Amino acid sequence: MAKKVSRIGVLTSGGDSPGMNAAIRAVVRTGIYNGLEVYGIMRGYQGLIEDDIYKMEGRSVANIIQRGGTILKTARCKIFHTAEGRRKAYEILQRRGIDGLVIIGGDGSFRGAVEFSKEFDIPCIGIAGTIDKDIAGTDFTIGFDTAVNTAVEAIDKIRDTADAHDRLFIIEVMGRDAGYIALHSGIATGAENILIPEQKTDIEDVIASLQEKERRKKLVNLIVVAEGDEFGGANEVAKAVKERLPQTETRVCILGHIQRGGAPTCLDRLIASRMGYHAVESLIEGRHNVFVGIQNNKMNYVPLDKVHKKKSTISDEWMKIVKILAS
């Protein structure tokens, strides 16, 4: 029989993503509505080990749904990877009477939760908060839509200056070793080439494409590169282009962490609210140690120990679409 919970803790861990605050808000208000006490844990597992915890009320999450970042802060905690660190965290939860956790983060945060739950029988629920969209078992991760829209807005502006000067711009977007931000933003902005980790980059094909466009007097070109692309990112691509096409005026723009900030989009607020609500409902119903995802517009519950990074290959059809639409 599943353990009943009465006091739950919520934390954000790993990289921040827009929409985390909306998820926190949903967890707090759903918990209070159901008669639970809800505690905010600052700076992820680090704050748990250091007992940086406070009781949250409904007003604690007022006016945060539209804010980027996370009011609970976030950090990566090496100590939690040790048995000693997890033991200390458990003792603090015991002292405070907290008997369930909601972890908003990525696959690394979930791996920590799996170990912790196995060792001390603490029910944990995971919510995917990552701009990379690299968690298997869900069509959405909190922050991805906002990050893509931020990238699209930036690339649109870059195209304006590229057009004014007849330049090639090579733009690097985030995503670690997942190419979803590059693919989505590249298609949405009409990029001539999109380089992603899921597809082998043939730099000679890229050069040939640029040469063909130059013959047709198409002088404005954008290449969107995922930071985890095997060729080495935007600077390495630019170096290869300069070596082979020295006459081409080339600029590099690395968008970086602006993709993590800013007010979350409507979609990110909606999915964060929905996931936060179902995370608490799962704890109450006894559906413990799962990750809450959304697939085909339905809630999908995956055991935390089965959660892994998405390693699916992006279909050739998408890349064919890119090639045809950029021709």
Q: What does the pLDDT profile of the chain (327 residues) look like in tens digits?
A: 567 899 999 999 999 999 999 999 999 999 999 999 999 999 999 999 999 999 999 999 999 999 999 999 999 888 999 999 999 999 999 999 999 999 999 988 999 999 999 999 999 999 999 999 999 899 999 999 999 999 999 999 999 999 998 899 999 999 888 999 999 999 999 999 999 998 889 999 999 999 988 888 877 899 999 998 888 899 999 999 999 999 989 999 999 999 999 999 999 999 999 999 999 999 999 999 999 999 999 999 999 988 877 765 677 888 888 889 877
| Terminal-to-terminal C-alpha distance of the chain | 61
Note whether 144 and 28 are within 8 A (CB): no
175 is in an annotated binding site: yes
Closest C-alpha among 48, 117, 51 to residue 305: 117
What's the topology of domain 7-143+264-306? Rossmann fold (3.40.50)
Report CA-CA distances (Å) from 279 to 9, 29, 141, 282, 303: 12, 12, 14, 5, 13
Catalytic residue among 16, 132, 134, 229: 132
Domain parsing of the chain, residue ranges:
7-143+264-306, 145-260
What are 104's strand-pairing partners? 12, 127
Note whether 143 and 20 are within 8 A (CB): yes
Alpha helices in the chain (DSSP H): 20-33, 44-49, 83-96, 107-120, 144-165, 180-188, 203-215, 234-244, 266-285, 316-325
The helix/strand/coil state of 44 is: helix
> CB-based contacts of 293: which residues, under 8 Å, 6+ apart?
128, 135, 137, 138, 139, 140, 275, 299, 300, 301, 302
Q: What pLDDT score was predicted for residue 311?
A: 61
Note whether 241 and 249 are within 8 A (CB): no
190 is in an annotated binding site: yes
- The highest-level CATH class for domain 145-260 is alpha beta
274 is in an annotated binding site: no
Same fold, 7-143+264-306 and 145-260: yes
User: Distance between CA 321 and CA 186 in Å, rounded?
Assistant: 11
Q: What pLDDT score was predicted for residue 2?
A: 64
Q: How is residue 225 written in tokens?
A: 């590169």
Residue 134 a catalytic site member: no
DSSP state of 135: B
Note whether 125 and 35 are within 8 A (CB): no
Amino acid at residue number 163: D
For the chain, what is the total number of helices (H) and then of strands (E)?
A: 10, 11
HSE-CB for 232 with a 13 A CA cutoff: 7
2 is in an annotated binding site: no
Note whether 269 and 275 are within 8 A (CB): no
CA-based radius of gyration for the chain: 22
194 is in an annotated binding site: no
259 is in an annotated binding site: yes
The helix/strand/coil state of 196 is: coil
